[in-house]
Amino acid sequence: MAKHEHVRVAVIGSGFGGLGAAVRLRREGITDFVVLERADSVGGTWRDNSYPGCACDVPSHLYSFSFAPNPDWPRTFSGQRHIRAYLEHVTDTFGIRPHLRLNHEVLRMEWDADALRWEIETSSGSFSAEVVVSATGPLSDPRIPDVPGLDGFPGKVFHSARWDHDYDLTGKRVAMIGTGASAIQIVPAIQPRVRSLTLFQRTPPWVMPRMDRNITGAERRLHRALPFTATLRRGLLWGIRELQVGAFTKHPGELGLVEKLAKANIARAVKDPALRAKLTPSYRIGCKRILLSNTYYPAVAQPNVDVVASGLREVRGSTLVGADGSETEVDAIVFGTGFHVTDMPIAERVFGADGHSLADAWKDGMESLRGATAAGFPNWMTIIGPNTGLGNSSMILMIESQLNYLADYLRQLNVLGGRAALAVRPSAVHAWNRKVQTRMERTVWKSGGCDSWYLDANGRNTTLWPGTTGEFRRETRQVDLSEYEVLRAPRTASTTTSRPPRTKETAQ
């Protein structure tokens, strides 16, 4: 029989968010915690995404923790293998291994209003925790569209985030569904060895050159000998991106020059006018994420690649039928169709104070206070929650800001003393989200004329943060107790003969 374990804090997930939370807990002197991970190793999205060509589109020195600089990044934009190795290094360096509970998929989390704690059922045992930090991330559960006839396809089918390395694509007729950040890395990586590659493109992306290069041995030695040089490099990369934010969030018209540069990038690599027309977006650059690649357009222009400028309508045996009526025979289908971002599956497994799931609470759209806490779910916090995503910079910056908020949240619970919990006020959540959504109307993501994965089913952008990372850090520097109710546990029988109901007090 699996044992039950009680901890002060349970962290769900071991990607950047979960490992960052674990490190921050230890730095705050908290060691009574576990990290629940459904897989057999750490790494999150950088463990799951191992497709050919997988790499980050944020510079290495910015896509790493400020408290764990890596002077030995081999390239300015690192590949999946090196990022995963970095996360393993962080795990070892900060002593996180004893806290890991691998192969522990969370099946259900339920708030116990009397005990003021979370009861957690996993695939390998049960836990209870006073505080839960959900760091499952928005890019963890692949989305495969419901295509008629797909079940009857006789060949190989897999998602880019679940790459089948045992299946050899050499000499095969392959269909790539989607043209997002994963697809533009996969296409150049597999194009030279497949017999044919058919790219089903609903909407073309804007693709800019990727300024990638090897980081020299001299640079790495300098960063090891003089760590402040790596800090300076990181600061410069951060500052440049902060200066760009206004064009995305306030003045989308300023992106016109960038759009001209992107069109010139297409013209340099694609000489066929008909293909160039297929690959040129009709929406404002920045409305969807701007992708970076030096090899995507040259690969697409090769004779064994065909671009179907429509989505996949249906599958008839081994024949794929596009929305434009075109038909293509293939041996394998690779879906690069993204993830459950605005409808994260973990929300279906979290049940709050009223017994309803987080998915039900968010049925009209995700919303939380400062991207962290949700109404009706006491002592529950999410890392990379609603409206914390970025369109042009490093998510590690946002994660570290949320870790500041987590640390102060736990300090406030310590100050309150006794058995206490913090429940965010619905009015505070609504006020925060009204402010965010009002600002969102001015952004290129709402006004740029595209339909992106940033938007939920109601057309609301519940994914991105409409400001600078510096501003978000200021907003999450500390917990404002006026935005919360303090919940107190009933007195136990050892202190009183009666058991009064659970009380609420207004935090001042």
Angle of CA points 40, 44, 50, to nearest 5°: 85
Rounded-to-integer distance, Cα 476 and Cα 398, Å? 10
Are 191 and 197 in contact, with CB atoms under 8 Å apart? yes
**Cα–Cα nearest to 82, from 95, 73, 90:** 73
Are 371 and 386 in contact, with CB atoms under 8 Å apart? yes
DSSP helix/strand/coil, 235: helix
Residue 192's CB is within 10 A of a number of other CB atoms, namely 11
pTM above 0.75, yes or no: yes
pLDDT given for residue 490 in this prediction: 78
Per-residue pLDDT 10s for the chain (508 aa) are: 468 999 999 999 999 999 999 999 999 999 999 999 999 999 999 999 999 999 999 999 999 999 999 999 999 999 999 999 999 999 999 999 999 999 999 999 999 999 999 999 999 999 999 999 999 999 999 999 999 999 999 999 999 999 999 999 999 999 999 999 999 999 999 999 999 999 999 999 999 999 999 999 999 999 999 999 999 999 999 999 999 999 999 999 999 999 999 999 999 999 999 999 999 999 999 999 999 999 999 999 999 999 999 999 999 999 999 999 999 999 999 999 999 999 889 999 999 999 999 999 999 999 999 999 999 999 999 999 999 999 899 999 999 999 999 999 999 999 999 899 999 999 999 999 999 999 999 999 999 999 999 999 999 999 999 999 999 999 999 999 999 999 998 765 333 333 333 444 444 3
Tokens at 39, concatenated: 């897989």
Length of the chain: 508
C-alpha to C-alpha distances, 198 to 155, 187, 395, nearest whole angstrom: 15, 10, 32
DSSP helix/strand/coil, 84: helix
For 347, phi and psi rounded to 5 degrees? -65, -25
DSSP helix/strand/coil, 224: helix
**Cα–Cα nearest to 306, from 281, 329, 288, 280:** 329
What is the tally of helices (H) and strands (E) in the chain?
A: 14, 21
**Cα–Cα nearest to 165, from 86, 50, 11:** 50
CA 493, 496, 497, 503 torsion-angle sign: negative
